[in-house]
Structure 1
Amino acid sequence: MNQQERDYLDHNLNGDFMPSVVPIFPDGLEIEGMSPIDRETYYEYQCPDARTLLAALDSEASMYKLPVNGATRPFIFRGQKEAHWKLEPSVFRGPSKGHREKDVDTANRFRGHVGAGANDYELQPFLHFLEGIDRLGLFLEDESHKLLDHFRSKNISQDNFFSSSSFDGFDGKLRFPVEKQLRSLALAQHFGIPTRLLDWTRNPYVALFFATSDILEINSDVSNNRFAVWAMPQILLEVTAKFKFLKVVEIPKFQNENIVAQQGLFTSHIPAFRSESGRSQTLPASKNNDRFPYLDEYLSDCAGDELHQELLDKLKGKPLCFTLKYNEIAPIRRKLDQLNITWASMMPNLEGATKEAVRRSAMQNYIDF
């Protein structure tokens, strides 16, 4: 934001000329009889039952209404199988259970990334993905094609094309990803490649499906576990993007039926190590300086900017996190089936039909608690 834009915003805030800048959730909005738990960087609503969660996400729910004139405020949504999971991009998480990986210390990975732009762990899978896309004859963004061509030009044999040694001396990695690569990176994220992006949807029921789709068996050991649906006020993303790096990434929907069905989009809050002009950039860090911040932490941190803080104070904006116990999942499944939100509709192809068949078979022994 340049100085002229800052002056304009400051004038309008102090002059009260911005009627749209009203508190999103004054003092923690009560929703469907639930008062939130203030988790500092977000509000958690612990839903007592499925009916309450479904009512909270309904289009007529109070969270969508502005407190002044009843106009609606847009949100984007994200579902997570475990309520305790953080808003952390997949490439920065520790290795999954049973997965063997040399660099299992995420703090060391973070220090290597921030200190020297050592992000090969993200770049390698992405290059594999680009190579596969190109072999299929599918469209690649120009900047992603240039990145792939750079490695091909090294005359590296196919056997070690993506080995760690092939990254030695590659100055391009310090500028990865440039803005024009984000759409290709989002496509890779959508199909399961770990990236710095977080995936979201504009449809709360799609988020609800992804929060619950992998919960296939419930017993007494897990019945009290909670899943989560995050609701992110879009204005909070817009405000953050005015003051520091934040991108909302949309993938072209042409010939991408999954994105259309899922109403998907992505956020990026971790910038490249260097800007596209080649200048070093300060990367965000947690309070302990041992990892990148979770998205909710990033959105609440004004980094000492008084104008940014003033706007956050006026908005009182925080993400919302609705949680529900696994033992309340049966009514959720019935509602999603009624809405035809299944793997077959989220992935309208043979892969989706197969995943739905497997899911339904796995649920034959489903037990309600």
Structure 2
Amino acid sequence: MKSEKIHQNDFIVNSWEELCEEVYRDSWKPHLTRYRSDYAFRGLSDAGYELKNSFLRNCGQRPELEYHLLRNFRKYSISKDAQLTASFWRSLVMAQHHGLPTRLLDWTYSPFIAMHFATANTEKFDLDGVIWKVDFVKVNRLVSEPLNHLLREERCNAFTIEMLEESIMSLSDFDKKLNKEQVIFFEPPSIDQRIVNQYAFFSVMTQPTSIMDEWLVDHPELYRRIIIPKELKWEVRDKLDQANITERVLFPGLDGLATWLKRHYKPATNDLAGE
């Protein structure tokens, strides 16, 4: 579903150089004398798409179904490593990773991986793409107790599974203890090479039917939307391929290889044989 909202923080890039400059804007940390970004990135092939989680897209306004989805996933799943589903947080990550509808949203620390997901679908090359750039450090600092103190104690910017397991035992516990619409960003365990290669982490909101766009619009200081015009998509795609930011790397295995080859050898024009 597409968002009807007009985002005041939209920035349209007009070149590859401008795109690279924009994703790294504000990453310089004078006190460290290093470039260290505080941003989470999410690339979408259509700038009109909402930040709507897969549970809401699949189940609509039926929040009671979330518990049953995860309960049955844990009941029927067979894992070689029991630790991967030992807690509801780990089960939630595993479920998202394997395509079960959940309230999680996928993000990456890498702006180039976000560029990949904004330009991977050639069927959407007639539409502008978008990269959501969200200051996850500031977002996490807004969270209420009992989670806020964990960040201070650990002196870190993103939650880990282990930190969340200390205070939150279930999704209903998460919703009740935070008590209002809130967002956190957390890092998953390294389940497999795909998680590692995509430099992935997740956002999660209280309430499974919450839409992150609506929360961000109320916090304009926390985000920016970088619009990639449709006319620029092929250039971005080709340069990412040359930089080896492809499905072959991000989705290790034959499926990723086949997807990369399919796009790599697709002509950029519509003059395809047999049409």
TM-score, structure 2 normalization: 0.71
Give the distance between the partners of 1:67 and 1:84, measured in 2 at CA: 36
Query: Which contiguous aligned blocks of 4+ residues in structure 1 show a shift greater than 6 angstroms?
Result: 66-71
TM-superposed deviation, 1:332 = 0.6
Which residue of 248, 256, 262 corresponds with 1:352? 256
TM-superposed deviation, 1:68 = 10
TM-superposed deviation, 1:216 = 4.3
Give the distance between the partners of 2:229 and 2:54, measured in 1 at CA: 24
Percent same amino acid among aligned pairs?
24
Is 1:45–2:8 an aligned residue pair?
no
Give the distance between the partners of 2:249 and 2:235, measured in 1 at CA: 19
Structure 1 letter corresponding to 2:187: E
Q: Which residue of 2 aligns with 1:64?
A: 27
SS of structure 1 residue aligned to 2:143? helix
Q: Which residue of 2 aligns with 1:294?
A: 211
SS of structure 2 residue aligned to 1:86? coil
Is residue 50–residue 329 contact of structure 1 (8 Å, CA) maintained in 2? Answer: no
Is residue 40–residue 134 contact of structure 2 (8 Å, CA) maintained in 1? Answer: yes
Which residue of 203, 216, 220 corresponds with 1:267? 203
Q: Which residue of 2 aligns with 1:142?
A: 86
TM-superposed deviation, 1:82 = 0.7
Is 1:343–2:247 an aligned residue pair?
yes
TM-superposed deviation, 1:298 = 2.1
Higher gyration radius (CA): 1
Is 1:205–2:112 an aligned residue pair?
yes
Is 1:324–2:228 an aligned residue pair?
yes
Alpha carbons of 1:132 and 1:53: their partners in 2 closer, same or farther (altered >3 Å)? Answer: farther
SS of structure 2 residue aligned to 1:199? strand
TM-superposed deviation, 1:70 = 8.0
SS of structure 2 residue aligned to 1:333? helix
Number of residues of Structure 1 aligned to a counterpart in Structure 2:
229
Is residue 343–residue 352 contact of structure 1 (8 Å, CA) maintained in 2? Answer: yes
Alpha carbons of 1:235 and 1:142: their partners in 2 closer, same or farther (altered >3 Å)? Answer: closer
Q: Which residue of 2 aligns with 1:54?
A: 20
Q: Which residue of 1 aligns with 2:185?
A: 248
Give 5+ residue unaligned stretches, structure 2: 146-177, 271-275
The 5-angstrom pairing of residues 50-199 of structure 1 reads 50-57=16-23, 59=24, 62-65=25-28, 72-93=36-57, 106=60, 109=61, 112-113=62-63, 118=64, 120=65, 122-127=66-71, 129-130=73-74, 133-134=77-78, 136-139=79-82, 140-143=84-87, 181-199=88-106
TM-superposed deviation, 1:192 = 2.2
Alpha carbons of 1:127 and 1:215: their partners in 2 closer, same or farther (altered >3 Å)? Answer: farther
Q: Which residue of 1 aligns with 2:136?
A: 234
Higher percent of residues as strand: 2
CA offset digits 1:251-284 (Å, max 9, x no partner): 211x510000000000101247xxxxxxxxxxxx
Is residue 45–residue 124 contact of structure 2 (8 Å, CA) maintained in 1? Answer: no
TM-score, structure 1 normalization: 0.54
CA offset digits 1:282-318 (Å, max 9, x no partner): xxxxxxxxxx4432432465xxxxxxxxxx7xxx723
SS of structure 1 residue aligned to 2:245? coil
Structure 2 letter corresponding to 1:248: F
Give the distance between the partners of 2:118 and 2:210, measured in 1 at CA: 22
SS of structure 1 residue aligned to 2:47? coil
Is residue 135–residue 222 contact of structure 2 (8 Å, CA) maintained in 1? Answer: yes
Is residue 83–residue 323 contact of structure 1 (8 Å, CA) maintained in 2? Answer: yes
Structure 2 letter corresponding to 1:297: E
Give the distance between the partners of 2:124 and 2:9, measured in 1 at CA: 29
Give the distance between the partners of 1:347 and 1:132, measured in 2 at CA: 25
CA offset digits 1:151-208 (Å, max 9, x no partner): xxxxxxxxxxxxxxxxxxxxxxxxxxxxxx1232122223322211111000000011
TM-superposed deviation, 1:217 = 6.8
